[in-house]
Amino acid sequence: MNIETDVDGTVSALHFIPITAEKVVIMNATVDMVLESTADDNVHWQLHDVTTMDFQDINITLTSSFLNKIAGWFKSSITKMIKSFLPQVSTLIDTQINNINSMVNNQTEFTWDFNLVSKNYPLNMTMTKAPEIAKDSHLISLNFDGSFHKQGDHLVPYTHEFFPKVTGTHREQLWIHENTLNTFISSAMEFYKNIELASPAMNKNLLMVLPELKEVCGGTCNFTFAINPRDTASMVSLTMAKGIVIGGPKTMFDVELFAMNETNGAPTSILTFETAMQMDVNFTMSNVVFYPVFKSSDFWNTTLTKSSVKMGSHKYDLVLDSVTTLMGQTYNQMHKAGIPIAVLDPDLAMIGGLIKNSTMTPYVADGWMYAGFSMAADAPCYHELYEHPTFEQAYIREQQTQFL
Helix orientation angle between 75-84 and 86-105, rounded to the nearest 10 degrees: 20
Q: Is the pLDDT of residue 401 over 60?
A: no
The highest-confidence range among 114-123, 148-157, 385-394, by mean pLDDT, is: 114-123
Backbone phi, then psi, for 276, in 5-degree steps? -100, 135
When pLDDT is cut at 50, 70 and 90, the band that residue 391 belongs to is: very low
Predicted confidence at residue 159, as pLDDT, reads 64
Q: Are 69 and 60 in contact (CB under 8 A)?
A: no
Backbone phi, then psi, for 382, in 5-degree steps? -85, 140
Predicted confidence at residue 399, as pLDDT, reads 31
User: In angstroms, rounded to a whole number, what is the distance separating the alpha carbons of residues 193 and 216?
Assistant: 25
Predicted confidence at residue 79, as pLDDT, reads 78
Phi-psi region of 186 (alpha: psi -120 to 50; beta: other; left: phi over 0): alpha
Rounded to two decimals, the pTM is 0.71
Q: Is the pLDDT of residue 4 over 90?
A: no
How much is the average pLDDT of 33-57? 70
CA distances, 387 to each of 34, 148, 359, 382 (Å): 39, 32, 11, 14
How much is the average pLDDT of 72-85? 77
How much is the average pLDDT of 378-387? 44
Q: Are 1 and 29 in contact (CB under 8 A)?
A: yes
When pLDDT is cut at 50, 70 and 90, the band that residue 122 belongs to is: confident
pLDDT tens-digit readout, 312-363: 999 999 999 998 998 888 889 988 889 888 887 777 767 666 777 788 899 9
Name the residue ranges covered by the structural domains of the chain: 3-105, 194-394
Three-state SS for 340?
A: strand
User: In angstroms, rounded to a whole number, what is the distance separating the alpha carbons of residues 209 and 259?
Assistant: 15
Predicted confidence at residue 22, as pLDDT, reads 62
Three-state SS for 56?
A: coil
Predicted confidence at residue 390, as pLDDT, reads 45
Predicted confidence at residue 131, as pLDDT, reads 80
How much is the average pLDDT of 66-94? 76
How much is the average pLDDT of 118-146? 79
Reported in sequence order, the residue ranges of 93-171 that DSSP labels E, i.e. its strands, are 113-118, 121-124, 127-134, 139-144, 147-148
Q: How is residue 337 annotated by DSSP?
A: T
pLDDT tens-digit readout, 182-204: 888 887 776 666 788 888 888 88
**Amino acid at residue number 64:** S
When pLDDT is cut at 50, 70 and 90, the band that residue 269 belongs to is: very high
When pLDDT is cut at 50, 70 and 90, the band that residue 140 belongs to is: confident
**Amino acid at residue number 376:** A
Predicted confidence at residue 165, as pLDDT, reads 80
Q: Are 29 and 55 in contact (CB under 8 A)?
A: yes
How much is the average pLDDT of 288-315? 93
Average pLDDT for the chain: 77
User: In angstroms, rounded to a whole number, what is the distance separating the alpha carbons of residues 320 and 206?
Assistant: 9
Predicted confidence at residue 76, as pLDDT, reads 81
